[in-house]
Amino acid sequence: MSRPNRIPAITDESDAERLLRQLQRATETILEPTAAEEALEFYLEDKARECRKSTVDSHRSRLGFFVEWCESINAVQPGLFKKIKSPTIPDEKVARETTLHVSRGKEIVTHLDRFEYAWVEHVGWLLLTETSV
């Protein structure tokens, strides 16, 4: 059986204010302001420990645009990068060796011909199925 939480007795308003200040101090987190570019570099350094250089370069390229946008609108809380852990991917899951059969590729293109004609995905699948051996 669990014990109920003990709630301190509040005799007057000054006690409530004092308890509130104590609670605020106990839960405050001091954030260090960090520029978006610096946060990106921290992230890329973390990634470099477990990823190939090409992966890190790809992240740098794509995230560079995001950093410029976040910086332009001041939308992120300073120090956010410290709270996010990069996922680790085991070596055996870095790349798949799955074969797409020609018949399945044609089924996908037929579906896209009908429902998503000339969309990027349709064009990509069309090129893939027409140029693959």
72 with 108, same domain: the answer is: no
82 with 114, same domain: the answer is: no
**pLDDT of 109:** 92
107 with 85, same domain: the answer is: no
* % of the chain at pLDDT higher than 90: 8
Q: Report if residue 13 sits inside a domain.
A: no
Contact 81, 42 (CB under 8 A): yes
Residue 13, pLDDT above cutoff 70:
no
Q: Mean pLDDT throughout 77-88?
A: 62
43 with 76, same domain: the answer is: yes
Structural domain boundaries, residue 49? 36-89
Tokens found for residue 83: 């709270």
Q: Report if residue 121 sits inside a domain.
A: yes
pLDDT in tens, 105-132: 889 999 999 998 888 899 999 988 888 7
| Number of neighbours of residue 94 by Cβ within 10 angstroms | 10
The structural domain count of the chain equals 2
84 with 111, same domain: the answer is: no
How does residue 52 score in pLDDT terms, banded at 50, 70 and 90?
Answer: confident
Q: Report if residue 60 sits inside a domain.
A: yes
**pLDDT of 65:** 72
Residue 4, pLDDT above cutoff 90:
no
76 with 114, same domain: the answer is: no
Q: Report if residue 47 sits inside a domain.
A: yes
85 with 42, same domain: the answer is: yes
Q: Report if residue 77 sits inside a domain.
A: yes
CA distance 49 to 70: 25
CA distance 35 to 42: 11
pLDDT in tens, 25-51: 777 666 667 777 788 888 888 888 888
Residue 37's closest CA among 84, 72, 4, 83?
72
Greater pLDDT, 10 or 96: 96
Q: Mean pLDDT throughout 95-109?
A: 82
